[in-house]
Structure 1
């Protein structure tokens, strides 16, 4: 990783050739069409009807289908674009229930957590705390709602009740969960860094060069509400070789050349329960991240590399073929089958639009009866 200015102004790792442009557009069309078909066909039976009887089994079914589709992205990054994803630090166990915290270098950091989650058998259960404006994205906004991402305004007086309400639904230890949080609250820029350093000097806080000061309240809420149901917290530090990529860089495969993820596993009993001590722990963690990134700039790598192997090309291809086959069947039914299929698709789109706009999720029938009896 070079300095931020060189990452912004340096040459792309790969030139944007006509072939890369065509391939990127084709991939984007495939990803949008598969996402649309999966959402409109599978949401009513699994995320709506099944949820009326069991949130747990609804989540398991939705996570399985979400994982099938989401695995297309690491396949694009590592096999089609030939981006090297290099893991270092600790080798974490498979299928743990965790809270993931990471630094936020650019708009696509969250996508590379998928590469780690896929290797740990937890891709379909990854959830994010994200800004509310992203819920307005076409198609993807539907997915963010169906898969229960936590949308926030980045104002604690507004977000506190939202986070407590959503987090309280994730306390069942039987539900698979990778909840990803970016405590900086926004992606890193030089101007934000300068403003943060000025604030740190004025308030007697550590001056950080490669990360922003973390916002502590949301992290503490996640830890305290989920403490009894989590296995650990994963502290992930992300760095890029050559320059930080954008979303279009990822799609067209011009950047990044290498993505480095350094992972630390922290047992819950090592994170203080009091808010003041927990905030201090998070600040110390970001000081460690800052030093890790400084060392990466000078050395070109994180310590203890090679903790995870490469993805299986065969498994990636099989997964891709399954998703494409399902999408092809659904597309055929949409255009050449009964009019009732078109009615179903229309009603599903209407439901997804309404549910996403108003934050609606079905409540299990037995809970409704229980509330009526208790009242």
Structure 2
């Protein structure tokens, strides 16, 4: 079989709804099994040995997250070019990630970076409290002790310190994501952000929303105790790229070409005073905006941003996400196919009907989940909430 024939066959398979359904079934079933294991460990092990619980939970989280990394790394051959100083890869430290929230899969591209740094199972984030009630991802994040917030500063400021202490208590390095913009970038939210900046005499940002400072400054005393550095991440996809950075693109096997500029900022360099820290965060986003503007106008992060050029490299994929997905497919989908085939042979129509209905429900859930990630369906948060900050 020629290489052209193989490529055509793979291209056909990647567009097959049946293959997509198999991947979806494997993710949902394995996710629920992982949630069940997490629950058992949470109830039976955590009260007696919290360190071992967190160590084991690392691998359960990794097994779930890297199924999505597989879609980017192996299924779609997505390319992530990283610009950063080499010493970032020699440090084992707790980190606060500060990344622009611009694309439907910015979180997944971040996970790709984390997977290559061996910290994917310990990636955490500030997240909306309601997410923890969502099966699979939400439940996984709850058992992984994410920092869940009400999006009400008066309610959140009392619990941030406790939750951060829990999040950074793991035996291995923890990377915690803070989306300081508060919500994903859209044109309508950007217009509101520009208006907010003009009314207050602030620097107008072209590629970001004005960051919300209260959550950051409230977290800072605890962050300075447990967190060693901030990794400022600028994630970019060229605006004329024919492949949009979406889950749908990855699922259909279309490779996304993404770029990432990472700067390490020691936590000790961040001011401790609340007002000074707020001003520091605002200035950080002014710098981030210059970096993004340089990329989108020149195709280079450094030409007009004023920042020193660093070396770049392409994140090479690792074998573990592939092995993990193949293993879960054998555990979840293969027995299902065998059961349905046996039911068909022996005329067990009742069981076959029930399973078919469950598969149809999973398919609908998968389509809905993909739809929820689309930018056009993003939340309205950020349209008029700046005045509350």
> What's the TM-score, normalizing by structure 2?
0.73
Q: Counterpart of 2:324 in 1: which secondary structure?
A: helix
Q: Deviations over 1:95-140 (max 9, x none)?
A: 4211111110034321221111111110100011122343343332
Q: Counterpart of 1:263 in 2: which secondary structure?
A: strand
Matched, 1:104 2:110: no
Indicate the larger mover: 258-267 or 236-245.
236-245
Match of 1:311 in 2: 317
Q: 1:143-182 maps to which residues of 2 (within 5 A)?
A: 143-172=140-169, 174-182=171-179
Match of 2:120 in 1: 123
Match of 1:217 in 2: 214
Matched, 1:273 2:272: yes
State the alpha-carbon separation in 1 of the partners of residues 313 and 168 from structure 2. 30
Q: 1:95 to 1:73 in 2, by over 3 A?
A: farther
When the two chains are superposed, the root-mean-square deviation of aligned CA atoms in Å is 2.8
Match of 2:72 in 1: 77
Q: 1:284 to 1:17 in 2, by over 3 A?
A: farther
Match of 1:302 in 2: 301
Match of 2:305 in 1: none
1:221 Cα shift?
Answer: 2.9
Q: Deviations over 1:193-214 (max 9, x none)?
A: 1111111111111110100011
**Partner residue of 2:30 out of 15, 29, 34:** 34
Match of 1:343 in 2: none
State the alpha-carbon separation in 1 of the partners of residues 40 and 134 from structure 2. 23
Q: Counterpart of 1:33 in 2: which secondary structure?
A: helix
Q: Quick check: 2:97–2:178 contact (8 Å CA) kept in 1?
A: yes
> Which stretches in structure 2 are left out of the alignment for 5+ residues?
1-10, 303-309, 338-389
State the alpha-carbon separation in 1 of the partners of residues 34 and 332 from structure 2. 7
Q: 1:234 to 1:308 in 2, by over 3 A?
A: farther
Q: Counterpart of 1:161 in 2: which secondary structure?
A: coil
1:17 Cα shift?
Answer: 7.3
Q: Counterpart of 2:15 in 1: which secondary structure?
A: helix
Q: Quick check: 1:105–1:244 contact (8 Å CA) kept in 2?
A: no
Match of 1:361 in 2: none
Q: 1:84-103 maps to which residues of 2 (within 5 A)?
A: 84-91=79-86, 92-93=88-89, 95-103=92-100
Match of 1:263 in 2: 262
State the alpha-carbon separation in 2 of the partners of residues 43 and 149 from structure 1. 14
Q: Quick check: 2:96–2:227 contact (8 Å CA) kept in 1?
A: yes
Q: Counterpart of 2:46 in 1: which secondary structure?
A: helix
Q: Quick check: 1:106–1:244 contact (8 Å CA) kept in 2?
A: no
Q: 1:229 to 1:138 in 2, by over 3 A?
A: closer
> What's the TM-score, normalizing by structure 1?
0.76
Q: 1:44 to 1:171 in 2, by over 3 A?
A: closer
Instruction: Give the number of equivalent residue pairs.
Output: 316
State the alpha-carbon separation in 1 of the partners of residues 197 and 292 from structure 2. 19
Indicate the larger mover: 188-197 or 318-327.
318-327
Q: 1:330 to 1:141 in 2, by over 3 A?
A: farther
Match of 1:248 in 2: 248
Q: Counterpart of 2:135 in 1: which secondary structure?
A: coil
Match of 1:283 in 2: 282
1:82 Cα shift?
Answer: 1.8
State the alpha-carbon separation in 1 of the partners of residues 174 and 139 from structure 2. 19
Q: Quick check: 1:95–1:120 contact (8 Å CA) kept in 2?
A: no
State the alpha-carbon separation in 2 of the partners of residues 108 and 48 from structure 1. 33
Which protein has greater RCO, CA pairs closer than 8 Å, 6+ apart? 1
State the alpha-carbon separation in 2 of the partners of residues 322 and 139 from structure 1. 18
**Partner residue of 1:238 out of 224, 235, 239:** 235
Q: Counterpart of 2:70 in 1: which secondary structure?
A: helix
Q: Deviations over 1:329-366 (max 9, x none)?
A: 9989xxxxxxxxxxxxxxxxxxxxxxxxxxxxxxxxxx
Q: 1:44 to 1:208 in 2, by over 3 A?
A: closer
Q: Deviations over 1:31-53 (max 9, x none)?
A: 1121111221x124423211111
Indicate the larger mover: 274-283 or 137-146.
137-146
Q: Counterpart of 1:52 in 2: which secondary structure?
A: coil
State the alpha-carbon separation in 1 of the partners of residues 335 and 165 from structure 2. 35
